Chains A and B, each alone.
Chain A
Amino acid sequence: MAKVQIPDEKASFPFSMIEGMMPLYPLIAVMGWGFVLVSLLIGIFGLSPAVTTFFSDAKAVREAAAAGSAIVNANVTAHVLESWVPQFKFLGLGLGLLAIIMALGVIAKRLRGMGWVITGHIREDLRPKMPSIPRRVRYFQLSTLMGLMILIAALIIGIVLAVTVVPDYWSHSIANELNPAQPGSALLQQLETVSSFAKWLNPLRVTGMAFLFTAITIALTVIIGTLRNQAELLIGFYNRATSG
Chain B
Amino acid sequence: MATLQGPSKSWQLKVYPIFTVLGWVLIGLSLIIGIFVLTPTAISYWAGNAKAARDAAEVGSALLGQLSTLAATPRWLEPLTFLGVASFMMGIALEFSAIPNMLKNRGQVLSICFPQIVQNPAE
Partners in one complex: yes
User: Could you list which residues of chain A lie within 8 angstroms of chain B, going by C-beta atoms?
Assistant: 1-2, 4, 118, 120-124, 126-127, 178-183, 188-189, 191-192, 195-196, 199-200, 202-204, 206-207, 209-210, 213-214, 216-217, 220-221, 223-224, 227-228, 230-232, 234-235, 237-239, 241-242
Contacts of A238 in B (CB 8 A): 4, 109, 112-113, 116
Q: Are A191 and B7 in contact (CB under 8 A)?
A: no
Q: Are A214 and B88 in contact (CB under 8 A)?
A: yes
Q: Are A216 and B113 in contact (CB under 8 A)?
A: no
Contacts of A196 in B (CB 8 A): 38-39, 42-43, 46
Residues 100-123 of B, flagged 1 when their CB comes within 8 A of A and 0 if not, give 001101100110110011011111
User: Could you list which residues of chain B lie within 8 angstroms of chain A, going by C-beta atoms?
Assistant: 1, 4-7, 13, 16, 20, 23-24, 27-28, 30-31, 33-35, 38-39, 42-43, 45-52, 81, 84-85, 88-89, 91-92, 95-96, 98-99, 102-103, 105-106, 109-110, 112-113, 116-117, 119-123
Q: Are B110 and A227 in contact (CB under 8 A)?
A: no
- Number of cross-chain contacts by CB at 8 Å: 158
Contacts of A118 in B (CB 8 A): 110, 117
The CA-CA distance from A44 to B82 in the complex, in Å, is 25
Cβ-defined partner of A234 (8 Å) among B39, B45, B110: B110
Give min CB distance, B2 to chain A, whole Å. Answer: 8
Mostly helix, strand, loop or mixed at chain A's interface?
helix
The CA-CA distance from A171 to B4 in the complex, in Å, is 74
Give min CB distance, A130 to chain B, whole Å. Answer: 14
Q: Are B116 and A241 in contact (CB under 8 A)?
A: yes
Cβ-defined partner of A235 (8 Å) among B4, B42, B95: B4
Contacts of B46 in A (CB 8 A): 188, 191-192, 195-196
Cβ-defined partner of A224 (8 Å) among B31, B34, B99, B122: B99
The CA-CA distance from A230 to B6 in the complex, in Å, is 9
